[in-house]
Structure 1
Amino acid sequence: MELKTFTENQQYCNSLTNYSRRKTIPVRIGDITIGGDNPIVVQSMTTVDTMDTQGSIEQCIRMIDSGCELVRITAPSIKEAENLQAIKDGLRKRGYNTPLVADIHFTPNAAEVAAKIVEKVRVNPGNYADKKKFEVLEYTDASYQAELERIRERFLPLVNICKTHCTAMRIGTNHGSLSDRIMSRYGDTPLGMVESALEFLRICEAENYHDIVISMKSSNTQVMVQAYRLLVNKLEEGGFKPYPLHLGVTEAGDGEDGRVKSAVGIGALLEDGLGDTVRVSLTEDPEFESPVVKTLINRYANRPEASGIIPISNYPIDPFAYNKRTAVEVANFGGGNVPRVITDISTVGITVPKDLKCVGHFYLPELDKWKMNDQGCDYIFSDKSPVPFMLPNGLKEILAYDTWGNQEDQKNKLPAIDLDHLKEKVKLHETLNFLLVSSENIEEAIPYLNNELPLIIVLFSNCEHQMQAIRRAIVSLIDAEINLPVVPKVSYSEKDAEKTMLFSATDVGGLLIDGLGDGMVIGLDQLQLRDKEEKLAQVKLHNSVSFGVLQAARTRMSKTEYISCPSCGRTLFDLQETTALIRKRTDHLKGVKIGIMGCIVNGPGEMADADYGYVGSGKGKITLYKGKEVMKRSVPSENAVDELIDIIKEDGQWIEPETTDHE
């Protein structure tokens, strides 16, 4: 363990440069064990009504067959909790012994019933013994202690039942459902999330009950990562046992966005050795979640612990709060600029304007004009294959230095240099240049760098531990007081689209979460692509994923964000269909955040910092929100999307979508 890696009171992981999984106590759940030396456990949650016994059984089987090792089922009342026995019996008769988890909100009596049936119970400390009214409360130390005693009395029966029946428990804090009491004392913060869980954990430990897993979920990836790190820190600081962690990003959404957002948060923690069980919360059928989790965690199954990366003696970043690394402004990088997207087209062979559709730039021949969508990249890296036509305004081309030197137009095209060029002090572009340097060679480059150079450092690594290697190199730059902008570059050898999404979101997202990075580029250099169509498709994927990673890390908002829960047995409408409809009507609202929640449990609190909310409040009834303020109640579902749009219009955030066919 690199004990001197962090400043005082900032320790949260074993190592920032090696892959070293945090050692936890093992927690037995039926036939599986979470934590200890055991592999990371895959889990998911049903979406069928819990009272639909046969439907629940069939869905559980589909989930288990897809790789799910732990199945969670909602139990919103006693009747659903009791029906867990029928579901469990039905699964056992079919030969499935996968442990079941009861998901509890608001109803301690249902938890007490479920704990006698299933192998694990999940409770949310924000609503287990509290009612959320979004009120600011004043407490003296004595009155706060009285509240803690009230919680203890409400929670203790469940602890005793779990002890008696050898039932495990997850204490699952959600950012969006912190109690008014916690919010009033700690605010809407990672510390509030951690303290919410520790209140319940102290009760468990006082009763000598330790079969516990803890989670710190949020839809905001920065908050989520900070909360998990702080939890580990506080467990150590407070003398608690090292309990296993359940990782997840709430309301991640669906498709590419859901996968990228999940990987930014979950992947950043996995890279640092945190996490013992994982659920990816997608607004899709639950059997699609487990394969995503398996792709994420399989990266670490055989990863060697030793990386060969020089240890970090002192990490200059606060791991519990977001602060962007200070970078001088070079052109539109660094300073107060948003991170930039550089898209690699080096092996494609771009020959005609229509080829640039893959990077979000569209040529309209009838108008002889260019248009750009919300994912129009800022720069293209052509390497040794210059684009043979005039590029649209706003799009710049980066070329290998020798190729750039042979261009007539050396002003509007930009050079990429290597370490040898830097040492030789070759002639540079007067305003913007790109240094391609490996993290392994950054120490060699530092003596030749200064903050007056018109230079962007594009950092890549040939190491299996890409994120740790690039992070180490950026720390070296910080230590040397080199404040030039840095753009991480990652490359992968597999053409698998999902792996590209998940791995790049993990490797670059983990850096952006800590404020490290002024852009990103996904390289083509490790890929063997057959024909031009395949190359264009891969470039389009890389370009889209780059914008998605920047958005998921909360560093550049380029499109509408949907904070959409994954559905469960509590959901009061077809969440997937509704999400698709809302997305179709609103996906042109750049930077607007819309929460789509299946029931009141996941709203309004769980919508986190959504600008607008669409929440199921009864069969066929929707409650519409602006922020956390109710705007309309009991809106018939057939009218609710129109009325949501009316609220957005009244708030001055609506723009009419363009009618074009260029995409």
Structure 2
Amino acid sequence: MTVITPSEQKTNIYCPSLTAYERRKTITINIGGIPMGSDYPIRVQSMTTVDTMDTQGSIDEVIRMVDSGCEYVRITAPSVKEAQNLENIRNGLHKLGIQVPLIADIHFTPNAAELAARIVEKVRINPGNYADRKRFEVIDYTDASYAAELERIREKFIPLVKICKEYGTAMRIGTNHGSLSDRILSRYGDTPLGMVESALEFLRICEEFNYYNIALSMKSSNTQVMVEAYRQLVQRLDEEGLKPYPLHLGVTEAGEAEDGRIKSAVGIGTLLEDGLGDTVRVSLTEAPEKEAPVARALIERYTTRSAHASIEPIEHCPINPFQYTRRDTRESYNIGHLNVPRVIADYSGIEVQQLDDLKSIGHFFLPVPDKWAMNDQGADFIYTGKKPVPFMLPNGLREILDYSQWLGHPEKHIKFPLFEVPEWNAATDISAELNFIKGDIHTFDELFLEDISGKNNVVLVLQTANLHAMPEMRRFFYKLTEQHIKVPVIINRGYNTDLGDKLTLYSATDIGGLLVDGFGDGTLLSPKFADNTEHAEKLKAAASYNSIAFGILQAARTRMSKTEYISCPSCGRTLFDLQETTAMIRKHTEHLKGVKIGIMGCIVNGPGEMADADYGYVGMGKDKIALYRGQEVIKRSVHSSKAVEELIELIREDGRWIEPEEREILA
């Protein structure tokens, strides 16, 4: 990680404070009588999935979404006929007394946008394909041709601006990482900066006509890119003297179930921690009414956040928050430096009784052929506290004991101690290989850091009791960076086991928010059990915490341990049943560690959002699928009944296919 000079640090502030929670101050925009901005609560929204021409189906789905907590509802309008039918949907809702603001989602068709802006409360346009071109071609634009293209866009866009201003219609200028125009790509590349400039070109036109009823978004399926783009957007607005517009937060194509929630929290939660964001849409490959409760759970953490304990202020950010670089650390045993972040399973509240108790963390004993095996989410270490494992552990798993227990253990030479700071300061017997020391920003004081700064057998376990947890831990990483201390650090967070979805969302925010900035050499997720928790329930919790830990590392793009699915949340443009198709593809490919598969309902954002995927499955017509290798179309018009089989064959041709039978014993 490159340390930023003092002069550079001054340009790296993208939020009100890096240590004190405060919402970013924005202007207020009006969306059908429900205002959005920093003076109001963070709003929740989602998007319908039924065909927009299905009026009653749309009305029924909107009702379910409103009942689940949606304050705004977005509906796709890919052509004029769908835009016109928005009026029927709106009238049907009003007859039922439902006044929820509707948002028309527009791609490619300015005439549909202009019609929709006269009907609904808000329109969303994508600057990458609103009168712009996206052909996945490499084009060298001269300054003259670039300016000419901008002028063409301006002529197409100005009528919509005037209509929105006349009708009091709000607008979201929403950039998608996967649908940047060839023109933007030619000048800025496939970068967060390109995403920002794509939106600002349209925003400048709006301001020229004194139209300000605007929200902005910078969405990507890559959490690092998404976070960096929003941060750059805020900074650029300030630098150019543009108004502080409200931000719509979202991670595109987050996926489903636990993976989708983790990825959403890593991206959205990281920004919310810094006071950025005025409305949230969680994009899950599930029924749309499932999204609002997840968004609400993310948001509600911040209603009382300003009451947190104070954190030492920092005026300048010592790293580049707009470009991912992993913090430079030395290697201690197999932690830090070039090693992937490690996962430590916390069994300090679980008494290991038999070999099968380690199945929860990915380690399996096979009676035949009498050996241990592990799956791709096998924990690297097990922390047992004062309850040592009573048998020999597999080679891929090392045990950590509390220092007092380690001291008297007959096999301490193959185990590692965990110290508290006072124990470390007084210790006369330590491990020659690896010592863990737990503490927080206060106990890891200057004298302590001076003592351990040159030791290559020490790893810190960073904790916090602060309500504003992630920023306090980040403040400690800033301190290490400024002082050039290269000790590896494990991020330790503890949560009650009865939190449900909140466990996934909170841990992904607290830990993922550090990982996307390059901080952290491992995770230790600690379950907090109720006193009467049964052994079987504890093991079940251990499995969940282990899965979440690996999921966070994958969502933050720091360690790949399973197949990744970049699947869109479906909308009225979708050409097949996304939930069913995603489940079918997952069933056949979930054993392919590190392979990224994009599953897209249509071609609007599909090919672009798969820029980060190895393979793509994209709807191109009724029962017709296009298969991609990266950005290249390999097969077109494959019948949906054969498409999964053809996808597997494509993966096989590339030598990346592994027969599931080879892994099923470890499942």
Equivalent position of 2:164 in the other structure: 162
Equivalent position of 2:499 in the other structure: 496
In the alignment, structure 1 segments of 5+ residues that lack a partner are: none
Instruction: Normalising by structure 2, report the TM-score.
Output: 0.97
Q: CA deviation at 1:31?
A: 2.2
Q: Secondary structure at the match of 1:566?
A: coil
Letter in 2 for 1:24: T
Matches within 5 A, 1:439-518: 439-444=441-446, 445-493=448-496, 495-518=498-521
Is residue 374–residue 666 contact of structure 2 (8 Å, CA) maintained in 1?
Answer: no
Matches within 5 A, 1:88-107: 88-107=90-109
Equivalent position of 1:243 in the other structure: 245
Equivalent position of 1:630 in the other structure: 633
Q: CA deviation at 1:223?
A: 0.3
Q: Secondary structure at the match of 2:166?
A: helix
Q: CA deviation at 1:661?
A: 4.5
Matches within 5 A, 1:192-591: 192-304=194-306, 307-444=309-446, 445-493=448-496, 495-525=498-528, 530-591=533-594
Q: CA deviation at 1:526?
A: 6.9
Is residue 600–residue 616 contact of structure 1 (8 Å, CA) maintained in 2?
Answer: yes
Q: 1:529 to 1:7 in 2, by over 3 A?
A: farther
Q: Secondary structure at the match of 1:549?
A: helix
In the alignment, structure 2 segments of 5+ residues that lack a partner are: 1-5
1:160-217 deviation per Cα after TM superposition (whole angstroms, max 9, x unaligned): 1100110000000000000000000000000000000000000000000000000000
Distance in 2 of aligned mates of 1:573 and 1:5: 53
Is residue 364–residue 662 contact of structure 1 (8 Å, CA) maintained in 2?
Answer: no
Distance in 2 of aligned mates of 1:37 and 1:112: 30
Q: 1:529 to 1:103 in 2, by over 3 A?
A: farther
Equivalent position of 1:114 in the other structure: 116
Q: 1:271 to 1:67 in 2, by over 3 A?
A: same
Is residue 133–residue 183 contact of structure 2 (8 Å, CA) maintained in 1?
Answer: no
Is residue 5–residue 315 contact of structure 1 (8 Å, CA) maintained in 2?
Answer: no
Distance in 1 of aligned mates of 2:113 and 2:595: 37
Q: 1:529 to 1:45 in 2, by over 3 A?
A: farther
Letter in 2 for 1:108: P
Letter in 2 for 1:90: G
Matches within 5 A, 1:588-627: 588-627=591-630
Letter in 2 for 1:243: Y
Q: 1:619 to 1:528 in 2, by over 3 A?
A: farther
Is residue 380–residue 396 contact of structure 2 (8 Å, CA) maintained in 1?
Answer: yes
Equivalent position of 1:65 in the other structure: 67
Distance in 2 of aligned mates of 1:519 and 1:529: 30
Is residue 529–residue 538 contact of structure 2 (8 Å, CA) maintained in 1?
Answer: no
Distance in 1 of aligned mates of 2:263 and 2:230: 16
Q: Match for 2:660 among 641, 657, 662?
A: 657
Q: CA deviation at 1:560?
A: 0.4
Q: Match for 2:142 among 129, 140, 143?
A: 140
Q: CA deviation at 1:524?
A: 2.4
Q: CA deviation at 1:239?
A: 0.6
Equivalent position of 1:81 in the other structure: 83
Is residue 10–residue 317 contact of structure 2 (8 Å, CA) maintained in 1?
Answer: no
Q: 1:461 to 1:406 in 2, by over 3 A?
A: same
Q: 1:630 to 1:594 in 2, by over 3 A?
A: same
1:597-637 deviation per Cα after TM superposition (whole angstroms, max 9, x unaligned): 00001211121310000000000000000001000000000
Is residue 13–residue 317 contact of structure 2 (8 Å, CA) maintained in 1?
Answer: no
Q: CA deviation at 1:305?
A: 5.0
Is residue 119–residue 167 contact of structure 1 (8 Å, CA) maintained in 2?
Answer: yes
Letter in 2 for 1:324: R
Equivalent position of 2:3 in the other structure: none
Letter in 2 for 1:401: Y
Distance in 2 of aligned mates of 1:102 and 1:527: 48
Distance in 2 of aligned mates of 1:276 and 1:15: 17
1:439-477 deviation per Cα after TM superposition (whole angstroms, max 9, x unaligned): 232225323222224011010001111101111112222
Letter in 1 for 2:425: K
Equivalent position of 2:192 in the other structure: 190
Letter in 1 for 2:170: A
Q: CA deviation at 1:75?
A: 0.3
Distance in 2 of aligned mates of 1:560 and 1:295: 27
Is residue 624–residue 644 contact of structure 1 (8 Å, CA) maintained in 2?
Answer: yes
Distance in 2 of aligned mates of 1:579 and 1:494: 29
Distance in 2 of aligned mates of 1:366 and 1:97: 65
Q: Secondary structure at the match of 1:658?
A: helix
Letter in 2 for 1:336: L
Distance in 2 of aligned mates of 1:638 and 1:79: 30
Letter in 1 for 2:582: T
1:125-157 deviation per Cα after TM superposition (whole angstroms, max 9, x unaligned): 000012211112222222211111111000011
Per mean C-alpha deviation after superposition, the further-off stretch among 614-623 and 523-532 is 523-532
Letter in 2 for 1:465: H
Is residue 19–residue 307 contact of structure 1 (8 Å, CA) maintained in 2?
Answer: no
Distance in 1 of aligned mates of 2:147 and 2:666: 63
Is residue 375–residue 666 contact of structure 2 (8 Å, CA) maintained in 1?
Answer: no
Q: CA deviation at 1:312?
A: 1.9
Is residue 346–residue 527 contact of structure 2 (8 Å, CA) maintained in 1?
Answer: yes
Is residue 423–residue 448 contact of structure 1 (8 Å, CA) maintained in 2?
Answer: no
Distance in 1 of aligned mates of 2:315 and 2:293: 38
Distance in 2 of aligned mates of 1:75 and 1:33: 23
Letter in 2 for 1:517: G
Distance in 2 of aligned mates of 1:307 and 1:74: 44
Distance in 2 of aligned mates of 1:33 and 1:5: 38
Is residue 439–residue 463 contact of structure 2 (8 Å, CA) maintained in 1?
Answer: yes
Q: CA deviation at 1:408?
A: 0.7
Q: Secondary structure at the match of 2:461?
A: strand
Q: Secondary structure at the match of 1:330?
A: coil
Distance in 2 of aligned mates of 1:602 and 1:285: 20
Distance in 1 of aligned mates of 2:138 and 2:482: 43
Distance in 1 of aligned mates of 2:513 and 2:523: 12
Distance in 1 of aligned mates of 2:75 and 2:594: 34
Q: CA deviation at 1:537?
A: 1.3
Equivalent position of 1:646 in the other structure: 649
Is residue 308–residue 466 contact of structure 2 (8 Å, CA) maintained in 1?
Answer: no
Distance in 2 of aligned mates of 1:110 and 1:315: 44
Per mean C-alpha deviation after superposition, the further-off stretch among 41-50 and 135-144 is 135-144
Distance in 2 of aligned mates of 1:282 and 1:599: 16
Q: CA deviation at 1:303?
A: 1.3
Is residue 82–residue 114 contact of structure 1 (8 Å, CA) maintained in 2?
Answer: yes
- Identity value in percent: 62
Q: Report how many residues are paired.
A: 660
Q: CA deviation at 1:497?
A: 2.8
Q: Secondary structure at the match of 1:304?
A: helix
Q: Secondary structure at the match of 1:162?
A: helix
Q: CA deviation at 1:281?
A: 0.3
Q: 1:452 to 1:359 in 2, by over 3 A?
A: same
